[in-house]
């Protein structure tokens, strides 16, 4: 029987870690692994294929949000009931994957793996980044009426409903995919929950540090969250 789970891995120049990340997933899950290689200049795509993944390549770099959108479109066109998103750098522990998928099985549409929720492992971030994360957590949680401690986490699982929603609209604006996608899910009536995960240091390669890099992006995201309620969901097909 074909698997009903798809794991989407956005990747940019992750040849050092992509093979072991895919192996770690395949050891634990009966899942299709889709690597969205976003114009890598190294052997990311070859190593991903060698490890058994399907690889979609963007001809040049479009960013993580666009990579996720490609992933959700692929997932929506297949028989998948559940999708998972995981980073290619080894920071996310595949040991937490089953818990993320189970939470979808019990009715959630978007399950966020949180480094900061109660029960999560210790994970150190710089104090400025931590402050940004706290601000985002506070404004987003208030906006959606549910506490999300790790709004920028890229370790997530999605129901079929979420897959279809995000195949039709997923934010690709620089740096905002994780935060804005939660707003889109919320305003389309999807159930969002958070569960604790542990997070490692990167196992190789170089961080783009792309999730929150500057005060500018923090302010932009806070504004995006603040105006969210005035934006209506797009009609289907857009
Ligand atoms: N497709 C795609 N993936 C990217 C891009 N930038 C980073 N990634 C991937 O997104 C994940 C998180 O990136 P990372 O640099 O580790 O961000 P951080 O963990 O938030 O510091 C990793 O799997 C990266 O390979 C990009 O421009 N396109
Ligand atoms: Mg990382």
Q: Is residue 157 part of a domain?
A: yes
Mark the residues whose beta carbon lies below 5 A from ion ligand 2: 89, 91
Q: Is residue 136 part of a domain?
A: yes
Determine if ligand 1 sits within 6 Å of the CB of residue 208. Answer: yes
Judge residue 231's burial from the number of C-beta atoms within 10 Å of its C-beta, 0-12 exposed, 13-18 middle, 19 or more buried. Answer: exposed
Q: Is residue 176 part of a domain?
A: yes
Q: pLDDT by residue for the chain (238 residues), tens digit each?
A: 456 999 999 999 999 999 999 999 999 999 999 999 999 999 999 999 999 999 999 999 999 999 999 999 999 999 999 999 999 999 999 999 999 999 999 999 999 999 988 888 877 777 778 888 899 999 999 999 999 999 999 999 999 999 999 999 999 877 678 999 999 999 999 999 999 999 887 777 877 765 556 778 888 888 988 887 655 555 665 5
Q: How many distinct structural domains can be found in the chain? A: 1
Nearest atom in ligand 1 to the alpha carbon of residue 87 is 23
Nearest atom in ligand 1 to the alpha carbon of residue 9 is 23
Q: Is residue 87 part of a domain?
A: yes
Q: Is residue 236 part of a domain?
A: no
Q: Among 7, 8, 9, 10, which is best to mutate for testing ligand 1, by the most ligand atoms less than 8 A from CB?
A: 10
The structure's pTM equals 0.92
Residue 35: name the closest of 19, 27, 24 by CA.
19
Q: Which ligand is nearest to the CA of 10?
A: 1
Q: Is residue 235 part of a domain?
A: no
Provide the residue range defining the domain that includes 71.
Answer: 5-230
Q: What is the CATH number of the domain that holds 43?
A: 3.90.550.10
């Amino acid at each position: 029987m074909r698997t009903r789970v798809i794991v989407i891995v956005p990747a940019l120049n992750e040849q050092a870690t992509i093979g072991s990340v895919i192996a770690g997933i395949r050891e634990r899950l009966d899942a299709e692994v889709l690597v969205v290689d976003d114009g890598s200049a190294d052997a990311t795509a070859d190593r991903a294929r060698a490890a058994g993944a399907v690889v979609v390549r963007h001809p040049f770099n479009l960013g993580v949000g666009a990579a996720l959108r490609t992933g959700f479109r692929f997932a929506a066109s297949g028989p998948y009931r559940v999708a998972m998103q995981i980073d290619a750098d080894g920071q996310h522990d595949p040991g937490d994957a089953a818990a993320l998928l189970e939470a979808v099985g019990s009715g959630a549409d978007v399950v966020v793996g949180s480094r900061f929720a109660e029960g999560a492992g210790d994970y150190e971030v710089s104090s400025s980044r931590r402050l940004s994360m706290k601000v985002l957590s506070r404004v987003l949680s208030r906006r959606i009426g549910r506490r999300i401690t790790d709004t920028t986490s890229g370790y997530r699982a999605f129901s079929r409903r979420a897959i279809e929603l995000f195949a039709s609209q997923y934010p690709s604006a620089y740096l905002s995919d994780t935060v804005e996608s939660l707003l889109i899910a919320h305003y389309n009536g999807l159930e969002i929950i958070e569960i604790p995960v542990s997070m490692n240091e990167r196992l190789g390669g170089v961080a783009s540090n792309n999730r929150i890099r500057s005060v500018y992006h923090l302010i932009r995201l806070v504004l995006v969250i603040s105006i969210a309620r005035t934006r209506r969901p797009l009609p289907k097909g857009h």
